Amino acid sequence: TQLLEQSPQFLSIQEGENLTVYCNSSSVFSSLQWYRQEPGEGPVLLVTVVTGGEVKKLKRLTFQFGDARKDSSLHITAAQPGDTGLYLCAGGSGTYKYIFGTGTRLKVLA
Amino acid sequence: DSGVTQTPKHLITATGQRVTLRCSPRSGDLSVYWYQQSLDQGLQFLIQYYNGEERAKGNILERFSAQQFPDLHSELNLSSLELGDSALYFCASSQGLAGPGWAQYFGPGTRLLVL
């Protein structure tokens, strides 16, 4: 069974701090996505990474896909209250379904 | 706006009843996925359809069923509802199967409350 474990589960930080969220699995994925979800809304796609070792930057967010395509990280620089939300990673494979991670709930305090 | 639409947005019903949730995927997307999200269990994959055919099943109860129609919209039917079925139900769509680079786009969800 493929599982994606995210850490930390909860994170509360002050505005301006940096943070990193991790997504780990023992399985290999052909692609990995990161989503942010706000209360009562659907997850919104942030980025897709497909190549082992790939790094993508989206403004203050930096995403990395592990060399072996089993893990990923999301780093946020100078966090802002608008970054608050539930961050989900999801792995795609050849089994026609995505596996979602356990989620990291981030709260950025002003 | 992801381009995925779901109706209704809210649904309140009683135990034992049956409801139908509807989803229209983004234009051009052939895959539709259904998920259940509750506070204590996170986002749980239920079922996936690709171009009208069922392609993958997750933790979907026998009381639940789904289908994808020729126009690619999908419906999720929930019957003999129980209190524990109260949750947010999301539909997502993607261009194809879970291949490299093909991410999912989520609808706004249907919040189901079973009383």
In whole angstroms, what is the distance from residue B114 CA to residue B17 CA?
Answer: 9
Taking contacts as CB-CB distances below 8 angstroms, the residues of chain B near A43 are 43, 90, 106
> How many angstroms away from the CA of A68 is the closest CA of chain B?
15
- pLDDT bracket for residue B99 (50, 70, 90): low
The pLDDT value recorded for residue A96 is: 56
Angstrom distances, CA of residue A2 to CA of A28, A41, B103: 9, 26, 18
Residue B113 contacts A where some CB pair is shorter than 8 Å: no
Do residue B98 and residue A93 have CB atoms under 8 angstroms apart?
yes
Q: Which pair of structure tokens corresponds to residue B40?
A: 């204590």
Statement: residue B23 has pLDDT above 80: yes
How much is the pLDDT for A92? 78
Q: What is the pLDDT of residues A58-91, one digit of tens each?
A: 999 999 999 999 999 999 999 999 999 999 999 8
* Residue A48 C-alpha, separation from nearest chain B C-alpha, in angstroms: 6
The whole-angstrom separation of Cα B10 and Cα B40 is 20
Burial of residue B49, with CB atoms counted within 10 A of its CB: 0-12 exposed, 13-18 middle, 19 or more buried = buried
Cα separations in angstroms, A77 against A15, A19, A61, A103, B96: 10, 7, 7, 19, 33
Across the interface, whether the CB atoms of A42 and B48 are under 8 A apart is answered no
- Spatial contact of A6 and A86, defined as CB atoms under 8 Å apart: no
Across the interface, whether the CB atoms of B107 and A42 are under 8 A apart is answered: yes
**Whole-angstrom Cα distance, residue A102 to residue A20?**
15
Owner of token pair 């608008």: A82
B-interface mutation test, from A33, A35, A98, most B Cβ less than 10 A away: A98
Rounded average pLDDT over B89-99: 83
pLDDT value at residue B100? 60
**pLDDT tens-place string over residues B35-89:** 999 876 678 889 999 999 998 888 899 999 999 999 999 999 999 999 999 999 9
Using 50, 70 and 90 to split pLDDT, how confident is the model at A11? very high
- Residue A29 has what pLDDT? 87
CA distance A13 to chain B (A): 22
Q: Using omega within 30 degrees of 0 as the cis cutoff, is the peptide bond preceding B8 cis?
A: yes
More confident residue, B106 or B103: B106
